[in-house]
Structure formats: structure tokens, C-alpha cells
Amino acid sequence: MSNTQNLFTIHFWGVRGSIACPGPETVRYGGNTPCIEMRVGGKRLIFDGGTGLRVLGQSLLSQMPVEAHMFFTHSHWDHIQGFPFFTPAFIKGNCFHIHGTVAPNKATIKQRLNDQMLHPNFPVPLQIMGADLKFYDIAVGEKLEIDDVVIENSRLNHPGEAVGYRVSWRGCTAAYITDTEHFADHLDKSVLYLAENADVMIYDATYTDAEYNSPMSPKVGWGHSTWQEAVKVAKAAKVKKLVIFHHDPLHNDDFLDRVGEEAAQQFPETIMAREGLSVQLVPAMITEQQPSQ
């Protein structure tokens, strides 16, 4: 068995929320919107298709043919806008299994990805993609098994609905929890379920508490959480490592440095998601590889 078949690796290709924000002030953390790749027991799992998916796609061109399972939390623009630019999807011989829940308006994930590529909003339709695209509607709470990899999901508190995912393999667990808004008086049971005893919890910490409760421009009801709530969940769920994710586009590198420092004071096993970051899980051990500067 090859080394890759014995590993559980999480790679971050896009870590921003809302809108891509390239520029000199976002160089260290990156400006692409959400896309996370997990290599689990030889399987390739891709979570969300923000602009980071385009970058992932370019890295895969030297590995053709490729097969992967793609899981979408929801279909707000920042989580699907990279899909039309995912080059491997245009190449025959590749195969992508695409999973998502049905939206409140009954639209499937296939319909939603298709609709964003229709005129007058996009020049070429989804049907021009040459890869074998297989679409699957998953139910909230459904458990999916891909050989010995188990993927669970649970409803999150987000306008228009979203789900988070929990990936388990040979005693290792990663929770991907974005986009979600915390509750004022209690921790979300759905979030706690996804995060329980996870080796790694990736959490939507778009705001600080001060921003969320700002008297001038409060973010209550916008569908996102704070790093302070991330720490509360990590402690309550007995998470081993917390990854702060879905950075606000207004938060530059220096701001995120400060968030990371403050969060680590309250939960020492905290890291800030940044493009190029890899986190590797093996039984009883987690290692972290920061991107080269």
C-alpha cells in the first residue's frame, strides 16, 4: 500500500468568504474563496468550489486522469464560482462525483451549478464540460461511505440553508463547518455533533465578537460566526486542533495575524487557514505544514 493510501491530508486552496480579495494586503493568507481538498486513504475529496477550486484544478493537470468526490455545503456564489473555471472538468477521461443537498426551492446541486453557467451570466454551459460528471442528491443527516471513508453531514444555521461535513477514516476525523451562525444562548447541537472529538475542526470564524455585535453595523443574521465562538465549540467538543476559516475579505494579513494570536491564547491548538496550508492526520498524530513564503 502506498504512502498516500495510509494518509489523511487536508489542503487549503481557498480560505476567504464572500468575495475573492487578491492584493498586496492578502498575500500571506490568500484571497481565494472556499475550497478544501482532503486526501483520505487514497481517495480525493473536494469540499466547496470557490475560486480556490480553479487553483486546485491547475495543480491536477499533471495528474490526469483524475477521479474525485466533490461535496458542496451550499450554493452561495463564493462557494461555487470556481466551478466553471475548474479545468479538469473540461477534460475527457476525468470523473467527478458531485454531492449536495437539495435547496429550499427544490433545486438540486446539478441545477444550481448548471444555472450559474447560463446566459446572460456566463458564456459556456455546463454541458460543454468533457469529464464524466455524476451528480448525487444527499439528504441532511445522511451517512455516505466511500469504501472505508465515512462522510456525514448536518444542517447549519445559514440563510438559504447549508450543511457541514464530518469525515472519518481509521480513527481520524475532520470537521468542515462553514457557513454557520452561532446562537446567543447556547451552542448549536448540529455543530457539536460534527465537531465531537474531531482531530481537526475547520470553522467559519468570519467576524470578531466586536464586529458581530457592532452598534454601527452589526452582523447578526448574516449567517456567520466569530473566532471566539470557534474557541467555545472547540473546547466543548474536545477538538484537538482548531482551524480558523472563511476570513472576511476586509481582514488583511496583519489583522488575521492578531486574530491568530488572540485565539491561540484561549485555545493553544489553533491555526489560521491560509492558502497552501496542509494538515496531515495519522492515528494518534497530527502534523502541520505551513506554505512556503
CA 98 to chain centre: 15
Say whether 3 sits in a helix, a strand or coil. Answer: helix
Q: Which three cell numbers stand for residue 186?
A: 447556547
Residue 125, preceding peptide bond in cis (omega within 30° of 0): no
pLDDT for res 290:
75
Element (H, E) at 175: strand 172-177
Give every CB contact of residue 179 below 8 A, 6+ residues apart in sequence.
17, 73, 74, 76, 79, 156, 158, 162, 204, 206, 223, 224, 246
Please provide the size of the chain in residues.
Answer: 293
Homologous superfamily (CATH) for 3-285? Ribonuclease Z/Hydroxyacylglutathione hydrolase-like (3.60.15.10)
What are the domain boundaries of the chain?
A: 3-285
CA 125 to chain centre: 25
Environment class of 243 (CB within 10 Å of its CB; exposed 0-12, middle 13-18, buried 19+): buried
Strands in 285-289's sheet, in edge-to-edge order, are 132-137, 95-100, 67-71, 43-47, 35-40, 8-14, 278-282, 285-289
- DSSP class of residue 171 equals T
Identity (one letter) of the amino acid at 29?
Y
Element (H, E) at 231: helix 227-236
Count of beta carbons in the 10 Å neighbourhood of residue 221: 8
> How many Å apart are CA 186 and CA 128, to the nearest integer?
47
pLDDT for res 285:
65
pLDDT for res 2:
47
The 3-class secondary structure across 13-72, one letter per residue, is EECECCCCCCCCCCCCCCCCCCEEEEEECCEEEEECCCCHHHHHHHHHHHHCCCEEEEEC
Environment class of 215 (CB within 10 Å of its CB; exposed 0-12, middle 13-18, buried 19+): exposed
Q: Is the Cβ–Cβ distance between 219 and 207 less than 8 Å?
A: yes
Q: Is the Cβ–Cβ distance between 30 and 6 less than 8 Å?
A: no
pLDDT tens for the chain, residues 1 to 293? 346 678 899 999 999 999 999 999 999 999 999 999 999 999 999 999 999 999 999 999 999 999 999 999 999 999 999 999 999 999 999 999 999 999 999 999 999 999 999 999 999 999 999 999 999 999 999 999 999 999 999 999 999 999 999 999 999 999 999 999 999 999 999 999 999 999 999 999 999 999 999 999 999 999 999 999 999 999 999 999 999 999 999 999 999 999 999 999 999 999 999 999 999 997 656 777 777 55
pLDDT for res 283:
65
